[in-house]
């Protein structure tokens, strides 16, 4: 019998004793047993300490590789620190923990980018990280539903389908030529809103009129006609204003399952799933109605193709790399509505909110517009390039009030290293566009509304200047910013050409509420109501 093998393989001292007893005296056996336990204890203790040390060092090293972030609670991580206004909480935390901040939101590891330099490190040409940060989370409840199971440009995962849909958007739907073809639509709808304002002898709700304008333009551009409810173009609510607004609110709302996927059942009990289903059914019914209308052979054709016409034509085109089905058409239409209505309306309102709070800026815009108009009642799109100060005002409003300040969340597709930090795959990424636009390294007195800061500056909002990214950056940047901006320019120019604007009696500049409504697009929470005085 090999006693050494017996020692290393036997953990039972009684068995050990009975096996070695015939070979050794009782005293020697007991001594061996004691030595076995003594050596075994120290051996196991030593191994345990080594393993524990390696584990601590490994995790310490890994923690050092992640960007800094606030202390986390068990299970919920940093969710409790987001509060009722996540964009404000994230901005506050970023000031403390730095321009690249790591949060654990429930089960979701999250990276927050909040400075121009951090954005540049990821997206600047040649960095190679743009592709890695071009993914989208595939488990966001509302996004998955309203994008028709991720069949949209905004929410499709990075890959062949997304590339083809984005190509269709850039080449077919939102090209300069296509945007220009809708010029008449924009001018007619702005004229309708101006006419309505002129007929009002009291306070007008600019928030309501801005949404109506954006909805009417997008309806005509996308569907070929307005689908209005109470008084198309007369200040009434567009038929789909409510459903589209509810859609954007739901896309920005908190869903437990977005952070704890195994708790999907909670959505059934707290009412949010029912809200999503109700809103989605109304939206889907409308899309079916529009598509059926476009397939009627006797339907009268417009001077130009609307977006549904284009998509249905591409659906029949055998040369297309991917076959477009109705689900994808509906997903793209949702993109068009959300990107074309909410961002436009919200930008218009924040521009006028800042102008009414800064009368000197309002007067400069009006003087410039009226000089270009030379007594004409209407500013046309061909006049817009001459309105230099107006362009500065729009840039400054977008800097302070990016339409979607936390952007649509991205997700890393693989592990990568950014500077000193290791970013794991499947990390949800938030671009804090407001913090980027108010980065004190690039902006003097960053919280002041001062359009003059853009004089003699080449900085623009098209995604090439990392200190100003209101429409995002990289492959996932918004492809339709030009579509929205030209309508904003035209509306502001015409509103300022024909009217002087004042706050209602009893209100001062300090009384203007700047609180924001929660959602992907940040609307002014309290409607902007102003008193117009017609001068033409």
What's 220's domain CATH number? Answer: 1.10.630.10
Answer yes or no: is 333 within a domain. Answer: yes
Nearest to 343 by CA among 282, 283, 405, 429: 405
Tokens 């070929």 label which residue?
A: 224
Nearest to 67 by CA among 470, 430, 466: 430
pLDDT at 440: 94
In the chain, how many domains are there?
2
- The secondary structure element, H or E, covering residue 421 is strand 421-423
Query: Pairing relation of β-strands 428-431 and 410-411?
Result: antiparallel
Answer yes or no: is 76 within a domain. Answer: no
According to DSSP, residue 154 is labeled T
Answer yes or no: is 519 within a domain. Answer: yes
Q: What residues are paired with 102 via a beta bridge?
A: 111
What phi and psi, each to the nearest 5 degrees, are found at residue 429? -125, 130
398 contacts 412 by C-beta, under 8 angstroms: no
Answer yes or no: is 387 within a domain. Answer: yes
Note the pTM of the prediction, 2 decimals: 0.83
Residues 14, 19, 25: CA angle, nearest 5 degrees = 95
Nearest to 354 by CA among 530, 197, 519: 530
pLDDT at 291: 93
pLDDT at 298: 82
470 contacts 398 by C-beta, under 8 angstroms: yes
Q: How far apart (Å, rounded) are the C-alpha atoms in residues 35 and 29?
A: 10
Whether residues 56 and 125 fall in one domain: no
Nearest to 337 by CA among 301, 307, 305, 313: 307
Whether residues 204 and 136 fall in one domain: yes
Whether residues 7 and 96 fall in one domain: no
Give buried/exposed letters for 255-282 (b at 16+ CB in 10 A, else e). bbbbbbeeeeeebeeeebbebbeebbee
Tokens 């800061």 label which residue?
A: 453
Task: Determine the number of helices (DSSP H) and then strands (DSSP E) in the chain.
Answer: 21, 9
Whether residues 374 and 462 fall in one domain: yes
Which amino acids are annotated as binding site for heme, given as ranges?
478
244 contacts 216 by C-beta, under 8 angstroms: no
According to DSSP, residue 297 is labeled T
Domain of 14?
3-65
Which amino acids are annotated as binding site, given as ranges?
478
Answer yes or no: is 55 within a domain. Answer: yes
pLDDT at 126: 63
Give buried/exposed letters for 164-179 (b at 16+ CB in 10 A, else e). bbbebbeebbbeeebb
pLDDT at 6: 32
Whether residues 57 and 97 fall in one domain: no
Surface-to-core class of residue 94, CB atoms within 10 Å of its CB (0-12 exposed, 13-18 middle, 19+ buried):
buried
pLDDT at 435: 95
pLDDT at 227: 72
Nearest to 377 by CA among 513, 270, 525, 496: 496
Question: How distant, in Å, are the alpha carbons of 45, 100, 500 from that of 430?
Answer: 45, 10, 40
Residues 163, 165, 166: CA angle, nearest 5 degrees = 65
From first to last of its 536 residues, the chain has per-residue pLDDT tens of 333 333 233 333 333 333 434 443 444 443 443 444 444 544 444 455 555 545 444 444 444 499 999 999 999 999 999 988 888 999 999 999 999 999 999 999 999 999 999 999 999 876 679 999 999 999 899 999 999 999 999 999 999 999 999 999 888 888 888 999 999 999 999 999 999 999 987 899 999 999 899 989 999 999 888 875 444 344 445 556 678 778 878 887 888 999 999 998 898 888 899 999 999 999 999 899 999 999 988 887 777 789 999 999 999 988 888 888 999 999 999 988 888 888 899 999 999 999 999 999 999 999 999 999 998 999 999 999 999 999 999 999 999 999 989 988 999 999 999 989 999 999 999 999 999 999 999 999 999 999 999 999 999 998 889 999 999 998 998 888 888 899 999 999 999 999 999 999 989 999 999 999 877 788 899 999 999 999 87
pLDDT at 12: 39
Answer yes or no: is 51 within a domain. Answer: yes
Q: How far apart (Å, rounded) are the C-alpha atoms in residues 116 and 65?
A: 21
Answer yes or no: is 255 within a domain. Answer: yes
Whether residues 61 and 90 fall in one domain: no
Nearest to 527 by CA among 506, 505, 504: 504
Q: What residues are paired with 421 via a beta bridge?
A: 418
pLDDT at 124: 86
Answer yes or no: is 194 within a domain. Answer: yes
Whether residues 242 and 384 fall in one domain: yes
What phi and psi, each to the nearest 5 degrees, are found at residue 187? -65, -40
pLDDT at 11: 37
62 contacts 96 by C-beta, under 8 angstroms: no
Whether residues 16 and 120 fall in one domain: no
Residues 401, 406, 407: CA angle, nearest 5 degrees = 95
Whether residues 155 and 29 fall in one domain: no
Whether residues 179 and 48 fall in one domain: no
Q: How far apart (Å, rounded) are the C-alpha atoms in residues 367 and 373?
A: 10
């Amino acid at each position: 019998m090999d006693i050494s093998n017996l020692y290393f393989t036997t953990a039972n001292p009684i068995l050990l004793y009975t096996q070695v007893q015939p070979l050794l005296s009782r005293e020697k056996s007991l001594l061996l047993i004691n030595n076995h336990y003594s050596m075994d204890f120290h051996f196991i203790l030593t191994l345990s300490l080594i393993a524990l040390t390696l584990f601590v060092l490994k995790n310490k090293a890994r923690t050092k590789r992640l960007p800094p972030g606030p202390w986390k609670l068990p299970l919920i991580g940093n969710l409790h620190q987001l509060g009722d206004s996540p964009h404000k909480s994230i901005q506050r935390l970023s000031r403390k923990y730095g321009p690249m901040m790591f949060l654990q939101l429930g089960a979701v590891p999250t990276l927050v980018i909040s400075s121009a330099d951090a954005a540049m490190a990821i997206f600047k040409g040649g960095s190679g990280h743009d592709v890695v940060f071009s993914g989208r989370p595939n488990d966001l409840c509302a996004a998955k539903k309203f994008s028709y199971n991720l069949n949209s440009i905004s929410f499709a995962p990075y890959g062949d389908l997304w590339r083809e849909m984005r190509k269709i958007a850039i080449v077919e739907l939102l090209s300069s030529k296509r945007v220009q073809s809708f010029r008449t639509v924009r001018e007619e709808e702005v004229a309708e809103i101006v006419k309505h304002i002129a007929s009002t002898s009291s306070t007008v709700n600019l928030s309501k009129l801005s949404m109506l304008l954006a909805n009417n333009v997008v309806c005509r551009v996308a569907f070929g006609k307005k689908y209005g409810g109470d008084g198309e173009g007369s200040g009434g609510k567009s038929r789909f204003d409510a459903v589209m607004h509810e859609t954007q609110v739901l896309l920005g709302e908190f869903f437990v399952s977005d952070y704890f996927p195994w708790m999907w059942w909670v959505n059934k009990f707290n009412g949010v799933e029912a809200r999503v289903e109700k809103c989605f059914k109304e939206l889907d019914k409308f899309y079916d109605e529009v598509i059926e209308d476009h397939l009627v052979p006797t339907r009268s054709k417009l001077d130009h193709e609307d977006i549904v016409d284009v998509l249905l034509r591409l659906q029949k085109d055998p040369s297309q790399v991917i076959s477009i089905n109705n689900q994808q058409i509906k997903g793209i239409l949702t993109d068009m509505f959300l990107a074309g209505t909410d961002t436009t309306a919200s930008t218009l309102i924040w521009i006028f909110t800042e102008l009414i709070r800064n009368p000197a800026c309002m007067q400069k815009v009006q003087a410039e517009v009226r000089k270009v108009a030379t007594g004409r009642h209407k500013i046309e799109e061909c006049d817009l390039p001459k309105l230099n100060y107006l362009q500065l005002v729009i840039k400054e409003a977008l800097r302070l009030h990016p339409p979607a300040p936390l952007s649509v969340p991205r997700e890393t597709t693989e592990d990568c290293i950014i500077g000193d930090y290791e970013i794991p795959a499947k990390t949800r990424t938030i671009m804090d566009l407001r913090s980027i636009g108010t980065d004190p390294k690039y902006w003097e007195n960053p919280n002041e509304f001062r359009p003059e800061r853009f004089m003699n500056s080449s900085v623009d909002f098209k995604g090439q200047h990392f200190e100003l990214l209101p429409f995002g950056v990289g492959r996932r940047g918004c492809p339709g910013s030009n579509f929205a901006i030209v309508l904003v320019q035209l509306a502001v120019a015409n509103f300022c050409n024909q009217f002087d604007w004042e706050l209602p009696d009893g209100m001062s500049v300090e009384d203007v509420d700047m609180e924001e409504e929660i959602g992907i697009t940040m609307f002014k929470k309290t409607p902007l109501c102003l008193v117009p005085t017609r001068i033409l």
